Amino acid sequence: MKRQVYNPYLPLDTYIPDGEPHVFGDRLYVFGSHDAENGTEFCVLDYECFSAPIDDLSDWRSEGIIYRAEQDPGHNKKDKYMYAPDVVQGCDGRYHL
């Protein structure tokens, strides 16, 4: 018997193939590139972030688009791939993608 496995925190039509998890404060954040549903190419959509309280990993929410493909100076029809993002918190408290 085959069983389909789904990611437990993403909407069924959202594909984040290379999510990077980080705990900032009291939340777990997952940052990742974004594949199109039924797409034939990978990592072509905007970066999106999801988060959950560290004491309740069943309560996920979308933080929305954190970086649009059109903002990337290297993004064009030929080089449209966004690849795997990551985020760090700097010494100044700001977050850097």
| In a domain? residue 54 | yes
Give the range of the structural domain holding residue 77, as residue numbers without chain letter. Answer: 20-96
| In a domain? residue 88 | yes
CB 82 within 8 A of CB 75: yes
Q: Which amino acid is residue 23, in one-letter code?
A: V
pTM across the whole model: 0.78
Task: Say yes or no to pLDDT of 20 above 80.
Answer: yes
Compute the Cα dihedral for 82, 9, 57, 48 and give only its sign.
positive
| In a domain? residue 78 | yes
**17: CB partners within 8 A, 6+ apart:** 32, 33, 35, 42, 43
| In a domain? residue 8 | no
For the chain, the average pLDDT equals 82
Q: Residue 27: pLDDT band by 50, 70, 90 thresholds? A: very high
- Domain count of the chain? 1
| In a domain? residue 6 | no
| In a domain? residue 60 | yes
| In a domain? residue 1 | no
